[in-house]
Structure 1
Amino acid sequence: MAKDEDKKSKKRKRDVVVHQEETNNTDVASPKRGRSAMNQNEAQNELDTSKPSAVFQPKNGRPWTLSIALPGSFITNVSTYDQKASLACRIARACAVFCVDEIVVFDDDPHTIPQQTQQKVNSNNKGHKGSWSSVNKQTSKTKAEVLAEVSDIDEPWHNPDQFLFHVLSYLETPPHLRRYLFQHHPNLKGAGSFTSLDMPHHMRADEWCVYREGVTLENDSHSHGQQREQGEPEKKKKKSKKGEKEKEDVFTMVECGLSAPVRIPIELPPYVRVTVKFASQAPPPGFPNLSPDQVANLEVEATSPSDPREEGGYYWGYTVRRAATFSDIYTESPFENGYDISIGTSERGVPLKSLIPGLASSKGGKQLLPLSFNHAVMVFGGVAGLEPAIAGDATLAANGITKETAGEAFDYWVNLAPGQGSRTIRTEEAVWIGLAGIREYVGNM
């Protein structure tokens, strides 16, 4: 019996060995190896979410622009610096996500000087004696003149328009330019925690684009107070024709986020922001590992800030301007013929969706948004809405526009969130809702 069991055991062992040999010879994968191969294939095809994939892809040149206007007064709705900075960052993020080209910060109550602001200015003025009321009766200063006396450290609380303008401008500026263009200021004390916008023109040194944003430098330095480094091209003298004195080549060094400054063939004052355009769409050989001389000798020129949008189709950030009154949104427009579409936002307007071509019909006599436009502006109100701002505007009041007829100040008067569950919609929320609502419309331009 023992011998028979040994024979069976040996036979089983031989069967196992033979099975392995046959598997190797015929290259038939074992279940374990099959699972391993499948896992490798799945790993290769697996969606990589470790890095952002929604990189902006330029299409054709874009002549039209989208602007928004909002009052800085909504900043006063919160009390601490961090909260105020957070609101500004939320506005900047919305504008970056939805490709807004211009932000207008307007004063929605240009004739009223807040009592606490006047008191703060008076307390900061040396030699002042007496109560706020007595001084306010004696002064004939306008609100703009009073706000001009607000100290830098008090701006977030007493000059919200300037605070919002300052922070929005800083956030739009590419990070590699900020130390040249912005001085230390109380408005920017929390800059290290500001939200990143990461827009197309916020490029890294190893990214190539035919356009870049730069800042002009002093030709004998790369940055503030630094001596010219070894390898930086010097200003060369160019020999002229007979009888003429030697002339220096005219150029300006520009820091544009590459490994070294580039050189443009015009002379500009230092520390001025400039848009540059390279001669080649493709990166030069060896990029990004170029020497300072190689970078300086790249063929590049200064161009209009609107060229990346109009010629290249890029979203190239937003500009920021201030408007002293509501009317100045229109009268001081940077565009030659102003805005051909103006959209006001109010809970008393019609649903935005009902005006968008393709999403709504023209039933009920509603005029749909046009199929194309040149420059559109969407205006948002502050804590009290747009109606008080419009009623308090002297120009509009002279034309008989009141709170009840505030919608007449716009081409379209829209409700961004019909049937809203909350009693109020905050300005920073309205901006996100409004830009998201109009995105499909402007995306089809």
Structure 2
Amino acid sequence: MVNTRDNIVVNTKTRSKKGTSDEPTDNTKKRKASASVVIHQKLSDGVSPAKKRKSESQHQDVEEIDTSKPTAIFQPTAGRDWTVTIALPGSWTLNAKKPDHKTVLVGRIARFAAIYCVDEIVVFDDDPSNVDSKVVDPKYIREGRSKQEVLDSILEQDEAWQNPDQFMYHLLSFAECPPHLRREIFQEHQNLKWVGNLPSMDMPHHLRSHEWCRYREGVVTGRAPAPSSTPNKSKKSKASQVEYAYVDCGLPHPVRVPIPEETSLEQGMRTTVRFANADADPPPAWPHLSQQDCENLQAVACAASLPREEVGYYWGYTVRRAPSLSAVFSECEYKDGYDFCIGTSERGQSVYSFTSGAGTSSANGAPAVKAPDSFKHLLLVFGGQAGIEPAVANDPALVARGLGKGSAGTLFDAWINLVPRQGSRTIRTEEAVSIGLAALKPWIDNMYEQ
């Protein structure tokens, strides 16, 4: 294999041997002459010296751009209360036979979620009633056991192959967690043996130690004494009733936060911390803070959704497991559920007609749906190896409502074909997630303008 860098060095040495004197070679003269001719022609064509200087300045600015480090830093504009959720079964990871390959596949889902600002990922079981003996070892299958009981009995070393939903849930949670908290929150586990294959998420809440932000993710390290200084007696009596905890936020030392009355911050628990300083400027002596500086920072524990709702930060995604497709809807953690739900299928209407409103019907003859102008909580559902239709037919709750493979599209507000006239016979789940989020992004981004 030829080393390109070595090749360049050799060519440079060869050129230096050709010209041993100070006189330029004929080739150099020709290059200089041709260059002057080009400049003369440009000036003679009517380009003024002022425009030429402006062009050179613009060219210089482009050259000075530093592309060695990422520059697309997320900048919040305004708080948002709307969310985007994707749901998919863990069974699609069974396509990969090796655990490191499975880890790479799950890492792609996490990466796509981070890029497209997905707020929630739901991992659901697309066959909640049946235990496939080709997937689960017969030693776990016993008469009288429900599927959930069988899955709960699977040993740690077998989860990657025999409990794909839990494996995917575990890895997605690990990938979302800020790197400085992973050692404290996640214990050593067989599922995490190949996390070195996960891509970097680099989300806004994955802050470096020198980066200042009004919010940070932290982990409780233990109880903390109350602050010693109090402004007056009334506040002193009130402060004496408040308990405090130390939270490691990735700063040089833990910060002290009061424990909310309605919750209990236990050691090892993850929490979001909000600093009282609303200004963009960091505190004095930043980032070289002493222990006293960190303890004196006014901070409170808050909900993980607050950075999104209050300022507009994309603050990562939450992960939820659902025992069936119907449970994706019934166990939704939002007060009024998902107000607009999209199912993906090659038998649905074109995604382009959905976003433009130009279509008339879907592949099965159903009326085409136009994308709504707004939504509160959007749900985008992807199927496994055989699509969403089998998940509907395998769900007892949906079957009881009269739904099956042929009527699976009626479960959703829109039944969308992400890749009309696809060239490949199949589209993998991880590909569908990437394609779907990219295709719907212009429509979703309109929510930022409202």
- Same topology, TM > 0.5: yes
Give the one of 253, 259, 270 matched to 2:246: 253
After TM superposition, the structure 1 = structure 2 runs for residues 59-208 of structure 1, keeping only pairs within 5 Å, are 59-119=77-137, 121-122=139-140, 136=142, 139-208=143-212
**Residue 431 of structure 1 aligns to a residue in which SS?**
helix
How far does residue 240 in structure 1 lie from its aligned partner after superposition? 7.9
Percentage identity across paired residues of the two chains: 49
| CA deviation string 1:102-127 (max 9, x = no partner) | 000000011111214543544xxxxx
Give the one of 250, 258, 265 matched to 1:268: 265
**Residue 168 of structure 1 aligns to a residue in which SS?**
helix
- Which residue identity does 1:72 align to in structure 2? G
Give the one of 54, 68, 72 matched to 1:50: 68
Cα distance in 1 between the residues matched to 2:84 and 2:57:
47
Q: Are 2:300 and 1:301 aligned? A: yes
Cα distance in 2 between the residues matched to 1:363 and 1:403:
23
Report the structure number with the largest CA radius of gyration. 1
**Residue 197 of structure 1 aligns to a residue in which SS?**
coil
**CA separation of 1:323 and 1:249: change in aligned 2, threshold 3 A:** closer
Give the one of 425, 431, 434 matched to 1:432: 434
- Which residue identity does 2:385 align to in structure 1? V
| CA deviation string 1:188-226 (max 9, x = no partner) | 011233211000000001101111111111137xxxxxx
After TM superposition, the structure 1 = structure 2 runs for residues 315-334 of structure 1, keeping only pairs within 5 Å, are 315-334=314-333
**Residue 440 of structure 2 aligns to a residue in which SS?**
helix
**Residue 430 of structure 1 aligns to a residue in which SS?**
helix
- Which residue identity does 1:291 align to in structure 2? S
Segment of structure 1 superposing worse, 113-122 or 185-194: 113-122
Unpaired runs of at least 5, structure 2: 1-54, 362-366
How far does residue 360 in structure 1 lie from its aligned partner after superposition? 3.5
Cα distance in 2 between the residues matched to 1:248 and 1:404:
61
Aligned length: 381
Cα distance in 2 between the residues matched to 1:327 and 1:90:
25
Cα distance in 2 between the residues matched to 1:417 and 1:240:
68
| CA deviation string 1:147-184 (max 9, x = no partner) | 11110011000000000000000000001111111000
- Which residue identity does 1:332 align to in structure 2? E
Cα distance in 2 between the residues matched to 1:60 and 1:335:
21
TM-score by length of 2: 0.80
For 2:309, the equivalent position in structure 1 comes to: 310
How far does residue 279 in structure 1 lie from its aligned partner after superposition? 1.0
**CA separation of 1:349 and 1:45: change in aligned 2, threshold 3 A:** closer
How far does residue 268 in structure 1 lie from its aligned partner after superposition? 2.1
TM-score by length of 1: 0.80
RMSD: 2.7
**Residue 217 of structure 1 aligns to a residue in which SS?**
strand
**CA separation of 1:308 and 1:89: change in aligned 2, threshold 3 A:** same
8 Å Cα contact 2:357/2:371 also seen in 1: no
8 Å Cα contact 2:339/2:378 also seen in 1: yes
For 2:364, the equivalent position in structure 1 comes to: none
Unpaired runs of at least 5, structure 1: 1-37, 123-134, 221-232
Q: Are 2:338 and 1:339 aligned? A: yes
Cα distance in 2 between the residues matched to 1:162 and 1:391:
22
Cα distance in 2 between the residues matched to 1:120 and 1:252:
47
How far does residue 286 in structure 1 lie from its aligned partner after superposition? 1.8
**Residue 316 of structure 2 aligns to a residue in which SS?**
coil
- Which residue identity does 2:389 align to in structure 1? E
